[in-house]
Amino acid sequence: MSFAIMCSGGDAPGMNPAIKKFVDYVYKQGEVPYLIYDGLEGLIDKKIKKAIHSDVAGILHNGGTKIRSSRSKRFFEYDYRAQAYNNLKEFGITKLVVLGGDGSFRAMEKFSSEFDLNFVGIPSTIDNDINGTDYCLGVDTALNVIRDALDKIRDTASSFNRAFLVEVMGRESGYLAIVSSIISGAEVCVIPEASFEPTLLTKRLKDEVANGRNYILAIVAEGTKKTTEVYNWLQDEIGLETRVSILGHIQRGGNPTVFDRLMAFDFVVLAVDHLMQHSNSNKVAVYKKGEFALIEIEDVVSTKYQLPKRYLDALNLLD
């Protein structure tokens, strides 16, 4: 058996630990590991290389992905998918591990419906928005990057009579925003899953400002597209001079945390063990309620991720 690993879509801290563990573990099982470079584009263009240990030496602590990634418009066309499959066959690759997010898994669902493909997907996205799993590789590192930035911003905010508005990533999910708000003590959090209704907030915050509050920290998820609206509200309604910080792609970088490294190892071992034992698999590895499992890819892509109720409820507990 020959195994291959690839990354698809946005990079996430933890991908490099997963890649290293994959190569080491596959060799330990007496099988041959391959690396697919540049994601789906590389799969189409046959950027496939047999892995040796030196390829992954020293990458454990690095963010990003050593084998790079991509988003591929060509993969939407059948002829290119057929070309990608033929490339796998040419190298004798019968087992595939895919590190990616929702879009990547949708591509793999289409791919596997057309060709005899045996793969396991590992949820890898800082957005943490994959249905069926509580945790995606990279989110812990991203949250720690955001936490560090928010702590520093609050240091500055507390020195002035100002509001600081911070926009975080997350695509259409408010996971990063609400968790970051909880752990940073933010006074305001705006996410796609809940409407922004400032009436009650306005009264409370104006009363607090009148009674001595001299700064406010507000966190807005990028998917709301309400950064400008919240900025104007803080300035015009609350009456505090406001500064905006858009963290952007800094959230995707950085050395993977201990937790992301451990989860990368566990996900990879689960995926490889399953592929060793099965010849017809279209699964996604998940972590649910403290347990690892494998579920059908159809179950992952058929339903949109829902933010847990406890986080929605937490919006009413911010102060």
Active site residues: 127
Structural tokens at position 309: 């109720």
Count the Cβ atoms, other than its own, within 10 Å of residue 175.
Answer: 25
Using the structure block, give the residue that is written with the tokens 């240990």. 53
Cβ neighbours for 51, distance < 8 A, ≥ 6 positions apart: 23, 33, 34, 35
Indicate the helix (H) or strand (E) that contains 243. Answer: strand 241-246
Report d(CA 212, CA 224) in Å as an integer: 30
**Distance (Å) of CA 19 to CA 42, 67, 68, 86, 124:** 16, 8, 11, 23, 12
Report d(CA 200, CA 63) in Å as an integer: 41
Indicate the helix (H) or strand (E) that contains 305. Answer: none
In the sheet where 48-50 sits, what is the strand order?
Answer: 48-50, 32-36, 2-7, 93-100, 119-123, 282-288, 291-296
